[in-house]
Amino acid sequence: MNTILVSPEAGSVILTLNRPERANAFNFEMVNELRSALADAEKDPQVRCVALTGSGDVFSAGQDISEMKRGEVVSYREHLEKTYNPLVLQIRGMGKPVVAAVNGPCAGAAFGVALACDLRIAKSSAYFVVGFGGIGLAPDSGVSLLLPVYIGLGRAQEYFYSNKPITAEQALTWGLVNQVGDLDFQKLVRKVIDGLVAGPSGVFALGKKAFNRALLSNLEDALKFEGMLQDEAGKSAEHREGVSAFLEKRVPKF
């Protein structure tokens, strides 16, 4: 089964995260397939906009924790350098707008991927969870930089520490998402995509470069620093307890 479904539309392409049995959680295969699909979209002159969504009623639960083996020391820095760091940089470096159509829960690394997109359209039932602290990890996938850009440092730290969900309506009020839809969510997403497809693509690409330079010029450094911190966190007893609690479906005892 393909972990990314590619659906060409008029002037655009819809990329669907497709691991419904794992709440669309990312593994190496899905990250690589998504990067390949994004590269194909960037090269295709017929594609003027890309949308990213999840299959079913979930956007993505983030990294597939079942791939983490209890007791095994994993280099999270190396993992990030092969997966989410290049993915986040690829999305921000694309000359074409990338829209996150957040159709349901979005957590952890998937939150970072959604934040890297140019626009976020959320279904009213969707919510966002920083997630990392719950398994004894620091923020990665660009969350440490991108989340404060959208909602401010105080809120970003609060929702990292508490692991509380950010509702779609809260996200809209704070500027984290651009629009929220309910029964007509797909129509809303299509309307946003069509508007981007009809726009001046060359100027859009230049504008994205300008925003990257003005606000995210340190993104690559932030991703590298996240990797260093995650290496430290990944070797901790807190992380081992967090993963064990997650797999055993209990509250961690930090």
How open is the CA angle 244-250-254, to the nearest 5 degrees? Answer: 65
Q: Which residues pair with 107 in a beta bridge?
A: 129
What integer pLDDT is reported at residue 247 of this predicted model?
Answer: 84
Residue 152 pLDDT greater than 80, yes or no: yes
Report the C-alpha gap between 84 and 172 in whole angstroms.
25
For residue range 154-197, list pLDDT tens digits in order: 999 999 999 999 999 999 999 999 999 987 999 999 999 999 99
Beta bridge partners of 96: none
pLDDT of 16 strictly over 80: yes
DSSP-derived secondary structure for 161-200? HH---EEHHHHHHHTSSSEEESTTHHHHHHHHHHHHHTS-
Q: What is the pLDDT of residues 123-143, one digit of tens each?
A: 999 999 999 999 999 999 999
What is the average per-residue pLDDT within 100-121? 98
Cα–Cα distance list, 97 to 46, 59, 102, 190, 202 (Å): 13, 19, 16, 14, 11
What pLDDT is recorded for position 70?
A: 47
User: What is the fold of 4-184+219-247?
Assistant: 2-enoyl-CoA Hydratase; Chain A, domain 1 (3.90.226)
Helices (H), the chain: 28-43, 76-82, 84-93, 109-116, 143-151, 153-162, 168-174, 185-197, 201-215, 219-234, 237-247
How high is the pLDDT of residue 71? 47
The single-letter DSSP state of residue 208 is H
What pTM was estimated for this model as a whole? 0.95
Contact 49, 100 (CB under 8 A): no
- Report the share of the chain in percent with pLDDT over 70: 97
Question: Mind listing the pLDDT tens digit for each residue in 32-82?
Answer: 999 999 999 999 999 999 999 999 999 999 999 877 654 456 789 999 999
CA-CA distance, 41 to 220, in Å (whole number)?
A: 23
Q: What's the pLDDT tens digit per position in 237-254?
A: 999 899 888 888 899 999
185-212 average pLDDT score: 97
* More reliable by pLDDT, 217 or 65: 217
What pLDDT score does 66 carry? 78
